Amino acid sequence: MRLAEGRLSGWKQEMTAEAHDASVHDTIPKLLLRNAKVRGARPAMREKDLGIWQTWSWADTLTEIRDLALGLRALGLKRGDRVAIVGDNRPRLYWAICSAQSLGAIPVPVYQDSVAEEMGYVLDHAGVKFAVVENQEQVDKLLEIRETYKDLKEIVFDEERGLQNYDVDGVRSYEAVQQLGRDSDDGEDVWRGEIAEGKADDTAIILYTSGTTGRPKGVVLTQGACVWAADTAEQFDSLTENDEVIAYLPMAWVGDHIFSYAQSYVSGYCVNCPESPETVIDDRREVGTTYAFAPPRIYENLITHTTVAMEDASAIKKKMFEYFLGVAREYGEDILNGKPVPLMARLKYWLGNLMVYGPLKNRYGLSKVRIGYTAGEAIGPEIFKYYRALGINLKQLYGQTEAAVYITGQPDGEIYADTVGTPMGGVEIEIADSGEVMYRSPGIFTEYYKNKEATRDTKTSDGWVHSGDAGFIDDKGHLKIIDRAKDVGHLNDGTLFPPKYIENKLKFFPNIKEAVAFGDGRDSVTAFINIDLTSVGSWAERNNVVYASYQELAGNPDVYKMIEDHVDAVNLELSQEERVAGAQISRFLILHKELDPDDGEITRTAKVRRSLVNERYAVLIDALYDPSKKRQKIKTEVTFEDGRRGDIEGDVEIRDMKLHAIDRASFKEAAE
Amino acid sequence: MNVAVKPADTGSDRANAPEVMLDIRNVSLSFGGVHAIKDVSFNIHKGEIRAIIGPNGAGKTSMLNVINGFYHPQVGEITFKGETRTQMRPYVAATQGIARTFQNVALFRGMSTLDNIMSGRTLKMHKNFFWQMLRFGPAMQEEVEHRERVEEIIDFLEIQHIRRTPVGRLPYGLQKRVELARALAMEPELLLLDEPMAGMNLEEKEDMSRFILDVNDQFGTTIALIEHDMGVVMDLSTRVVVLDHGEKIADGTPAEVSSNQDVIDAYLGVAH
């Protein structure tokens, strides 16, 4: 498979008999027509409402989408118009995406928890004319935006609550629009005609990336790219109409758009919408999803909850949990990979599955998961191994919005915690001289919407895309990602400084929710820590530590001691790795507030915006590098959930760490 | 009154002559030598949010207890929906459509959220004990109907995720919400809320304010609430009555009340 030094390409895609005929079903709406025909009675979508799962078959789905599409058409929606989609994962919002696409209009899903100003920017930039939104909260936000952004004509809402008395032009209910659609004459033919006009290189969607730098950019993906991505995944993981997924990640995220939308139309499986964002774990358990997709944060949270719960468990349970988790750590991975394992170990693992792993997987709602993916950013190897040890086939995927997700994936049986796998079918990968990963595939984006400059910087004329990530291809032919290319730096003595790598090690501790490491162009490495309120809060409760706020708990001397131990453990690990041994953390502090997407410090998908953090907390960073300072006062502006602003003041303690000795000789030995 | 979505008819009512739902005339209440309420009169209009405020010990909770029949005033008259009474048992108040929540949460701590809210439907269940035990036929059908109403309320207050959690394990803010849910399950015409936001943080307060406004707006429920947070009172209420040492010292719109010198004195204290 290897082409040249540092260049790889994925398996050659062939059309199997089961695969749809890509030349006929080249757009999502055409696939809808096919599904309604070949599997009309099978479930396409479910939603839990008033405690009961409601199901829509593919035939029902077609009716819903057609009525809405015709209604929108009657209101003046035309080919090429942009339609904003705002809200939690609801069947009606997914249908709205397909409705728009069936008319050749372009859906633009927007992060539903963005404040009005943030949302206004995206709507204005995309030139949105229509919006389909979930509820009153979003309608209010859009009405506020419409005061300055006049092009927004129609707002269609799903949930009627609180909106009955709204008498505003261009605000109507989903039912009313569907009724308009039902009232139109020979609608069915018109609609099917519109779908027939769709082509593979039509724009399917514009996804605004949250972006760790600057304003969000609108990534334009074609119908062809989305269908290709879903086709590829179907072949890679043998997906069928019998699979079940749960849709709970933001609809504006490319992962959700492919997994919960495009993939469902291509493979014909059922997408389940949870009752509310808080009930996802229970809902997932009830549905028994077989195919899962989540950013590392979600998996980290599950471990944190488990750790917290186990702290409160009885001594016997704790012992049992620890013992069998030990067994799993030793043999689980090998059993999952189908490697030979001693009979006794197999027996112990079987017993462990009965008593610990099975119930645990059931609690996570992952009992039936056939394939689970983690993507979005790097997952800590310990977290990854934990799930695999339990027998969950968690795999890593390397993807980007610009690639319609898929760049590389881990094939079954070739799973390594520190690599992201081999290129997917149809993908070519090359490592640039700078160390940056470049890729080319049928799924790559057309352009950044209305941003020629950024498009030129990212995409070469012959279709290669700069990933922005630094990586290399290891001797097994797997891609290994080190960090964001622009984030990888060096200490003044030349030691490699990959911030993400260090932060992930810190974040493995349940008590640490977020970490930001500094060191590029400095003499030593330092870090900001955010404690995890669930985990540390539970510790506080057990130890009778009284606190009123995050800030107070963060400043507690015992909490500092606890975090100091964690940092020390990370330093010990770092000291044993040749490339980063010199990048041990010399000083750290616990931030007085949590990094928050509302303040722009992390993105909505929980990636740290480094430049902004550097700027806002400059005082603290300076203090970290001033050995004479043991404490530092800081005042930060915060944004509340309703968009109001306020100040939060803190006096933050800085801790010095003792570094571990680096045994250079042992690295040499290991090398020899 | 029905839990199903129903447009509120409050706006227009407020403008022209409002219908008086509850009228309190010259009520006095004393416990031995302690005069909790001294000759207080005020009324509550249909569809409004009426706040009762005052410093500690002003007689606010006693007033609510008088309204829902828990205390019996020695002097005075109470007219609810045109019916005058001097004495009433709490359960009679409940059957007439008065529901309440308590200052210190009073839920069945060992029972789940769902069961707690179902208990709010007790008055509306009519099948006898033996049918209930069978959980069959008419009793089952009745249970299903009530469950549907309860699920609507759960959806309304966004507490789906704690449906099965014993309320004793819930944080305080959520317990308050469950208590509100139970009161709503009675489909009351008059809802009495005793410090619905005590001990909550800013975010929880904003959520609760939203819910109270929604209840008023969607179900058309008349609400009387005691609250200490002046921001909340000013934002939510249509009219405010101020008590101090058992006496009414002011009554009017939030703006009128907050500029009233007696009220300012009562809250900030004056040199004697």
What confidence score (pLDDT) does residue B15 get?
A: 47
Domain ranges of chain B: 1-97+188-272, 110-186
Residue bearing the bigger pLDDT, B175 or A113 = B175
Residue B272's pLDDT band (boundaries 50, 70, 90)? low
Contact A161 B152 (CB under 8 A): no
Please check the confidence at residue B4 and state whether its pLDDT lies above 50.
Answer: no
Contacts of A641 in chain B (CB under 8 A): 203, 206
What confidence score (pLDDT) does residue A394 get?
A: 92
Whole-angstrom distance, CA of residue A81 vs CA of residue A603: 28
Contacts of B156 in chain A (CB under 8 A): 161
Whole-angstrom distance, CA of residue A27 vs CA of residue A22: 9
Smallest Cα distance from B258 to chain A, Å:
24
Give percent above pLDDT 70 in chain A.
Answer: 95
**ipTM for the complex?**
0.75
For B111-140, what is the mean pLDDT? 82
* Contact by Cβ (8 Å): B45, B238: yes
What confidence score (pLDDT) does residue A501 get?
A: 82
Domains of chain A (ranges, CATH numbers):
25-222 (3.40.50.12780), 296-367+369-484 (3.40.50.12780), 489-671 (3.30.300.30)
For A130-156, what is the mean pLDDT? 93
Cβ–Cβ contact A279 with B under 8 A: yes
Nearest CB to B161: which of A49, A278, A640? A278
* Weakest-pLDDT range from A69-73, A258-262, B89-93: B89-93
Q: What is the CA radius of gyration of chain B?
A: 19
Nearest CB to B152: which of A50, A279, A282? A50
Burial class for B51, CB neighbours closer than 10 Å (0-12, 13-18, 19+): buried
For B61-77, what is the mean pLDDT? 89
What confidence score (pLDDT) does residue A127 get?
A: 95
Contact A161 B206 (CB under 8 A): no
Nearest CB to A642: which of B5, B8, B206? B206
pLDDT tens for A292-314 read 988 888 888 888 888 888 888 89
What confidence score (pLDDT) does residue A211 get?
A: 62
Please check the confidence at residue B208 and state whether its pLDDT lies above 60.
Answer: yes
What confidence score (pLDDT) does residue A69 get?
A: 97
Lookup result for tokens 């993906």 = A221
Residue B69, CB-side half-sphere exposure with 13 Å CA sphere: 18
**Nearest residue of B to residue A283 by CA position?**
B161
CA-nearest of A292, A239, A285 to A264 is: A239
What confidence score (pLDDT) does residue A565 get?
A: 95
Residue A113's pLDDT band (boundaries 50, 70, 90)? confident
Please check the confidence at residue B33 and state whether its pLDDT lies above 80.
Answer: yes
**Nearest residue of B to residue A275 by CA position?**
B160
Whole-angstrom distance, CA of residue A316 vs CA of residue A66: 58
Please check the confidence at residue A547 and state whether its pLDDT lies above 70.
Answer: yes
- φ and ψ at residue A284, rounded to 5 degrees: -65, -40
For A217-224, what is the mean pLDDT? 96
Give percent above pLDDT 90 in chain A.
Answer: 58
Contacts of B158 in chain A (CB under 8 A): 276
Q: What is the mean pLDDT of chain A?
A: 89
Smallest Cα distance from B31 to chain A, Å:
38
Cβ within 8 Å of B, A 136-195: 160-162, 164-165
Lookup result for tokens 């129609």 = A154
Whole-angstrom distance, CA of residue A155 vs CA of residue A171: 5
For A7-33, what is the mean pLDDT? 74
What confidence score (pLDDT) does residue A671 get?
A: 52
pLDDT tens for A197-216 read 999 999 999 999 866 566 88
What confidence score (pLDDT) does residue A642 get?
A: 66
B-interface mutation test, from A53, A137, A275, most B Cβ less than 10 A away: A275
What confidence score (pLDDT) does residue A20 get?
A: 58
Whole-angstrom distance, CA of residue A123 vs CA of residue A130: 10
* Contact by Cβ (8 Å): A254, A401: yes
Cβ–Cβ contact A643 with B under 8 A: no
Contact B217 A282 (CB under 8 A): no
DSSP states of A389-413: HTT--EEEEEEEGGGTEEEEEPPTT
pLDDT tens for A569-605 read 999 988 887 777 888 999 999 999 888 888 888 887 6
End-to-end CA distance of chain B: 50
Contact B203 A279 (CB under 8 A): no
| Contact residues of B toward A, CB < 8 A | 5, 7-8, 11, 148, 151-152, 154-156, 158, 160-161, 163, 202-203, 206, 214, 217-218
* Contact by Cβ (8 Å): A10, A18: no
Please check the confidence at residue B86 and state whether its pLDDT lies above 90.
Answer: no
B-interface mutation test, from A48, A165, A644, most B Cβ less than 10 A away: A165
Cβ–Cβ contact A282 with B under 8 A: yes
Nearest CB to B160: which of A275, A640, A642? A275
Cβ–Cβ contact A276 with B under 8 A: yes
Residue bearing the bigger pLDDT, A527 or B10 = A527
For A68-79, what is the mean pLDDT? 96
Residue B173's pLDDT band (boundaries 50, 70, 90)? confident
Residue bearing the bigger pLDDT, A634 or A75 = A75
Tell me the CA distances in angstroms from A261 to A235, A251, A405, A612, B105, one per residue in order. Answer: 17, 9, 13, 33, 44
What confidence score (pLDDT) does residue B204 get?
A: 85
DSSP states of A458-512: HB-TTS-EEEEEEEEE-TTS-EEEEEETTT-EE-TT--EE-HHHHHHHHHTSTTE
Query: Domain B1-97+188-272 belongs to what topology?
Result: Rossmann fold (3.40.50)
Contacts of A640 in chain B (CB under 8 A): 202-203
Smallest Cα distance from A463 to chain B, Å:
47
